[in-house]
Amino acid sequence: MKRTVFFTDSRANKNVTVFDTTLRDGEQTPGISFTLEEKLGIAEQISGIGVHAIEAGFPASSDAEREIVRAITNLGLSAQVCGLARSLRADVDACIDCGVDMVHVFIPTSDVQREYTIRKTREQVLEATGDIIAYTRDHVGRCMFSAMDATRTDWDYLIEVYRVAVDAGATIINVPDTVGVITPTAMKHLIERIDHEVNCPIDVHCHNDFGLAVANTIAAVEAGASQVQVTVNGLGERAGNADLAQTVMALSSIYGIDTGIRTTGLVETSRLVARYAGMSIPATHPIVGENAFAHESGIHSHGVITRSDTFEPGIMTPEMVGHRRRLKLGKHAGRHAVKQMLAEVHMEPAEEQLDEIVIRVKAIAGKGKRVTDADLYEIAESVMQLAPDEKTLELQDVAIMTGNHVIPTASVRATVDGVEHTFSSIGNGPVDAAVRAILGIIPAPVQLKEFNIEAISGGTDALGHVTIAVEDERGRAFDASASSDDIILASVEAVINAINLVCRTHKLDREQEE
């Protein structure tokens, strides 16, 4: 079948490299501060999925930052390690001292930045640019040069700055949309002009103030840019930067450009950084969000059950990015989705029963309540007049020890198929310790994929509602929930409910196979 083309008039390169600045610009997100261990873990993860260069930090900013950049350099990653420097020799020396592969020097070039941040004339900026790049190249093989606030710089002057940088030895030039104000059409014209008038590879760094960071990055590639700067989950100053997953998948799936990224690791990478950053991924976040490949509407669910590309891009599948397709329950759910979800756990209601199950699902969702897998199966058992399934795992007792000078520890006593088991675990907090203890005695291998807590009433005695999702060894996801004025007990109950769903499904799997 002939492939439809989704773009026009492209001068894009067949190969585009990816420069990740999560550890530098991403950490400048207000409220985010990664530890050394977290930065090392992120560096290894993004290098492992094929990122070509990692901006490890700004060594001159502090002794601690210098040690972090040096530690990342010493990991021996396949990705190049880059350090950021102002147009000051001391900054460059700090980068060199860390043993980085590349130094990224920058200087403000727009009139507003020059006059109010560094107080230099245009001529002084040109002189400083040539001097710092020449100095850098005397000490390190690769030098990236950024004309800070390039998109608000007079274009004739910007070209002059880049020519001075290249003549002095810059190995790649970066075009930053520092405050996210350019449009994709203007970005395309700018990059085309730079590509025509300056003989050097072009990199682009876009901010997301107007939600155009990814679009501007793609437009730059269309015009000839050969490297893109991104952050995981679009982290960064103010509204953030171009998102890694979105940029890579647009380039690879729509344009057919080779970015060298192992895309099946994108969701895993996103979740790792979200956990370390303490910032959850919005459900509607493209590519990696919980709802990126989820379907609730009856029309949509029916379509993807029949053929996935009816209501998904087709050129990008959940498997390509390390995600999974899910049918969701809600007030828009249709018969086909409910029937499919029940069939996956070997429940086959009659047509009249299916109609009643759908009605009850919509009734619950219509009250604003999330309908979990556990809710669906309980409804189906009631409508089909099935005997409630015996629970594999039943909690007998849970004890928590915590405090400001005590490592949170949980001890759990539970029965598994009638046999009593105990398990203890420590955790980052009492909830984490309790969940770890429960997972220590489970009869089926599961992975905790999602964990959400919300208050559904006010005051210090608020009723907490916990929703979780677990995944079995076959990659099937199950979600369950629980509510209590004790958030630890609600968490434990939700985990146990989800585990019992997995065990029930495995039991039915075995019966079907026999």
Give the confidence band of 26 by pLDDT, cuts at 50, 70, 90.
very high
Average pLDDT value for residue range 192-203: 98
The residues, any chain, with a CB within 8 Å of residue 141's CB and separated by 6 or more, are: 101, 102, 171
For residues 221 and 251, is the Cβ–Cβ distance under 8 A? yes
86 against 376, higher pLDDT? 86
pLDDT at 216 over 80: yes
Distance CA 325, CA 438 (A): 27
Helix (H, G, I), strand (E, B) or coil at 505: helix
Tokens of 40: 């090392």
Range picked from 88-97, 339-348, 364-373, 392-401 for highest mean pLDDT = 88-97
Element (H, E) at 449: strand 446-455
pLDDT at 458: 60
pLDDT at 302 over 70: no
- Which of 388, 338, 343 has the alpha carbon at shortest distance from 365? 338
DSSP 8-state secondary structure symbol assigned to residue 231? B
Longest dimension (CA), the chain: 84
- Which of 415, 427, 483 has the alpha carbon at shortest distance from 455? 483
pLDDT at 56: 98
- Which of 364, 368, 312 has the alpha carbon at shortest distance from 338? 364
Average pLDDT value for residue range 130-145: 97
Cα-flanking dihedrals φ and ψ of residue 396, to 5°?
Answer: -105, -45
pLDDT at 2 over 60: no
Q: Output the CA–CA distances (angstroms, integers) from residue 496 to 99, 100, 469, 479, 481, in the order listed.
A: 50, 48, 11, 11, 9
Which residue shows structure tokens 């799936």? 253
pLDDT at 455 over 50: yes
pLDDT at 180: 97
Q: For 423, how many CA atoms within 13 A lie in the half-sphere containing its CB?
A: 18
pLDDT at 3: 63
Give the confidence band of 462 by pLDDT, cuts at 50, 70, 90.
low
Share of the chain above pLDDT 90, in %: 59
pLDDT at 1: 44
Q: For 139, how many CA atoms within 13 A lie in the half-sphere containing its CB?
A: 18
Distance CA 126, CA 135 (A): 14
For the chain, the average pLDDT equals 90
Which residue shows structure tokens 């006010």? 458
Give the confidence band of 372 by pLDDT, cuts at 50, 70, 90.
confident
239-269: pLDDT as tens digits:
999 999 999 999 999 999 999 999 999 999 9
Distance CA 103, CA 143 (A): 5
Q: For 53-67, 90-104, 283-297, which range has the lowest pLDDT when averaged over its residues?
A: 283-297
